[in-house]
Structure 1
């Protein structure tokens, strides 16, 4: 069994939450950058259409993966803290 009240457990949960927040924010920023007007250009050969480069598609996919991973880490870290087992009662060991 894992000691859910140990310092290592709580440190791991705290790191998961903060890494989740960081990855979520970076992922959302990458998605927003890829969806901005600066990332999309207009190509007007016979007709004008919007063109997005392969690099921006990759940035958008990476941002989506990062945001998804950040969300999972954030929820897992939050659940690790909220669903800890209660401390065992040490004084009432009836015989």
Structure 2
């Protein structure tokens, strides 16, 4: 079984939190960037309408995927910390 009170276990949970935050923020930036006015252009052949390029659609999809992955990492790290096994009697005595 995994020792949930080891330094490595807590370090992995901490890294998951920070990676989750980073991915979530980068995903939100990607989605917000693809929704900005700079990402849209006007196409006026017969009628004028706003058009988004395929690249910006890809950026939006990647941003949404990144934000979703960040949330999953944050939830997993939270569960890793909150659902740790209690220390056994032999470990709490210092043996």
Normalised-by-shorter TM-score class: over 0.9
TM-score relative to the length of structure 2: 0.93
Residue 7 of structure 2 corresponds to 7
Question: Which 5+ residue runs of structure 1 have no aligned equivalent?
Answer: none
TM-score relative to the length of structure 1: 0.93
Q: Write out the 4+ residue segments of structure 1 that deviate beyond 4 Å after TM superposition.
A: none
Shift of 1:30: 0.3
Question: Which 5+ residue runs of structure 2 have no aligned equivalent?
Answer: none
Shift of 1:39: 0.3
Shift of 1:51: 0.3
Report the 3-state secondary structure (helix = DSSP H, G, I; strand = E; otherwise coil) of the residue aligned with 1:38. helix
Residue 67 of structure 1 corresponds to 67
The RMSD of aligned alpha carbons is 0.7
